[in-house]
Amino acid sequence: MNNLISDLQKLIRQPSISAKNEGIEKCAKLVQIMLNKSGIHAEILRLKKGVAPVVYGEVKSKKNNSKTLMFYNHYDVQPVEPLDLWDDPPFSGKLKGNKIFGRGSTDDKGELITRIKAVEAYLKTTGDVPCNIKFVIEGEEETGSAHIDQYLKKYKNKFACDGVIWEFGYVDSKNRPIVGLGMKGLLYVELSAKESIRDAHSSFAVLIKNPAWRLIEAVKTLRDSDGKILIKEWYRDVKPFSKKDLEIIAREPFDEKSFKKEFGIKSFVANKKGLDAKKALVGGATCNIAGFVSGYTGDGAKTVLPGKALVKIDFRLIPQMDPKKQIQRLRKHLKTKGFSDIKIKVFHGEAAARTNPSDPFVSKVMEAADESFGKSILSISNAGTGPMFSFVNNLKAPCISIGSTFIFSRIHSPNEFARVDLLKKTTKCICLIMAKFGKV
């Protein structure tokens, strides 16, 4: 674990922005080199030209090769903008006390390092690992994992395993790791409207329709002020929480005060509190405006009537919501409401997935987390999204998230950081998971 920090800094200093295809190949090769240096046989897998490669790693156990544990991670990161809000260069990997700063420091290079160092520690101290280990490290997670399903199908036999440790895991404000049993799905779309061939003087607004108003009117029909999605049959396929789910949700602590303070807010959507707030986090569908662009957005005033407008929307999906069905419902909704002129561009869609709380894998991970951190929290699902459904569907293996991501570590934002103490505790936790998983 001596070079945990320096290796993480090396990874951070190698840009790998999938949205811009910046540094992807170089980072994949760097990850391959790090795996090999740690004693993990690594190779780069490809589908076709233009698709980010997957870095695959494997270590076969000498004593117990009847069970296989997979670590799924990603080496790509989010864009760094806005640059002026960073205190240090985004790819500096600067160490300040207990924190390492930089894009990817937590999401997901910090998490990846904890997995690599745990395996390396076993190999250096015992010459073996408690069970077979596999790494699947992709380079498109931050843009929706567009090709991971194809990778999983093409290399299904190569990737075969009995359990998957997911790419991240939150640690709450009281330093308790949250063991997540699922991920929400995602449908990301862009709605656009065009009225005139160019922007015009705003005095012509008495005659020329404003596409921004058109979009506002359309978007307003998608959900109400309490967050309920108004698209017909949007919730049709959803199953209610089970009794077991509700028991787990009720036990899960959630520090509302700290959460509100961190983001500078006074209340939640629909003024949710207590159990309702927790239920929403783990199992609530959303319709979120991620960006709205039209007309002049610079400093000062410019009286302009825009010729076009667009809005980017992400829908968080919950179990049983099929992204393909949901986009059909969205199209039908807009047409029925009289907005057939609005163009819809679909970026990507992922279904939600959850692991059964009664699966034996869950108790092993919980035990390891308790031993490493002192106390862990079980959650039926994370609020975020990842391609967990593809892994469950193709590999038929339970997936669980556990990691070092401090809940307020500013992932996807300027000044993202990883806490060194949590990286070390997570590395120990991964070692314990391997031991318990491989125990006959």
Identical fold for domains 4-183+353-438 and 185-238+285-350, yes or no, is no
Place of tokens 């307020």: 408
Give the C-alpha distances (Å, rounded to integers) separating 56 from 8, 32, 111, 139: 19, 8, 16, 12
CATH 3.40.630.10 fits 4-183+353-438, yes or no: yes
| Four-way CATH pick for 185-238+285-350: 1.10.150.80, 3.30.70.360, 3.50.50.60, 3.40.190.10 | 3.30.70.360
For the segment 235-247, the average pLDDT, to the nearest whole number, is 94
pLDDT in tens, 177-214: 999 999 999 999 999 999 999 999 999 999 999 999 99
Rg (CA), the chain: 23
How many other β-carbons are positioned within 10 Å of the β-carbon of residue 224?
12
Task: Provide the pLDDT for residue 2.
Answer: 64
What's the mean per-residue pLDDT of the chain?
96
Contact 60, 134 (CB under 8 A): no
Would you list the domain boundaries of the chain?
A: 4-183+353-438, 185-238+285-350
Q: How far is CA 358 from CA 322, 354, 363, in A?
A: 25, 12, 8
24 near 18, Cβ under 8 Å? yes
Instruction: Using pLDDT thresholds of 50, 70 and 90, give the confidence band for residue 439.
Output: confident
pLDDT in tens, 296-355: 999 999 999 999 999 999 999 999 999 999 999 999 999 999 999 999 999 989 999 999
For position 65, what pLDDT does the model report? 85
Where does the pLDDT of residue 1 fall: very low under 50, low under 70, confident under 90, or very high at 90 and above? low
C-alpha distances in angstroms, 23 versus 13, 20, 215? 10, 9, 36
Residue 383, class by beta-carbon neighbours within 10 Å (0-12 exposed, 13-18 middle, 19+ buried)? middle
Position 203 scores a pLDDT of 97
